[in-house]
A = this chain, B = another copy of it.
Amino acid sequence: MAQNGTESTSTYLYDPTILSQLESSAFHAEYKDGVKPLNPGENFKLRPLCLEDFDKGYLQLLGQLTSVGEVTKEQFEDRFNKMKACDDSYYVTVIEDTSVNQVIGSATLVKEQKFIHHCSARARVEDVVVSDVYRGKQLGKVLVDVLVALGKKLNCYKISLECKDHNVKFYKIFKFEATHGQNYMQLRFFD
């Protein structure tokens, strides 16, 4: 795969070629201003999370979503490597603003192996966040659109997510449906 100078030294969480293999027919959303899922704008690069993103503000970005706490570079790398060691499971996908070398959007597709549905797998959308100074640029839409296409490409039988009331309309863009009579329940051990 052709890579520019910066990326050739990067360690990807997953093989980036799977992103470039996604066909335009796999996307659901409509875009304006020339934005495309795989080409979301000048200086905006969509790619897998890299080990080097610790130094590109990745954890600070997640901090806009929820509590992250103090995480050292070693702890970040350990977690990254643990995810990567789980083959075909963690598809953390980010957008970098290459003009400032900062990760400014991220969304995760997690693939869960099953025995049911002929030893199939299900996918989940997790931890969707776009930096507050980059909102309104359709980047959240790009990230979710790409994850849905990725989930299908990875042969998952379904993809799901949990979201707050005010985001239901947004996720309907991608054909997610609230399933009648299906409840999400949780038990929190700590924050």
Query: Whole-angstrom distance from the CB of A131 to the nearest CB of chain B?
Result: 16
Contacts of A69 in B (CB 8 A): 117-118
Stretch at the interface among A4-12, A35-43, A79-87, A132-140: A79-87
Nearest B residue to A190, CB-CB: B157
Residues from 88 to 145 in A contacting B, C-beta threshold 8 Å: 88-90, 110, 112-119, 124, 126-127
Contacts of A89 in B (CB 8 A): 86, 89
Distance between Cα atoms of A189 and B157 in the complex (Å): 5
- Tell me, yes or no, whether A55 is within 8 Å of chain B by CB: no
**Contact at B179–A159, with CB atoms within 8 Å?**
no
**Contact at A183–B165, with CB atoms within 8 Å?**
yes
Copies in the complex: 2
Contacts of A181 in B (CB 8 A): 164-165
Which one, B71, B165, B189, contacts A118 given CB within 8 A? Answer: B71
**Contact at A68–B189, with CB atoms within 8 Å?**
no
Which one, B116, B174, B189, contacts A187 given CB within 8 A? Answer: B174
Distance between Cα atoms of A56 and B23 in the complex (Å): 43
Contacts of A175 in B (CB 8 A): 187
Nearest B residue to A126, CB-CB: B112
Query: Whole-angstrom distance from the CB of A87 to the nearest CB of chain B?
Result: 7
A–B Cβ pairs within 8 angstroms, 5 of them: A68-B117, A69-B117, A75-B118, A158-B187, A158-B189
Interface residues of A (CB under 8 A from B): 58-59, 62, 65-71, 75-76, 78-79, 82-83, 85-90, 110, 112-119, 124, 126-127, 148, 151-152, 156-165, 167-168, 171, 174-179, 181-191
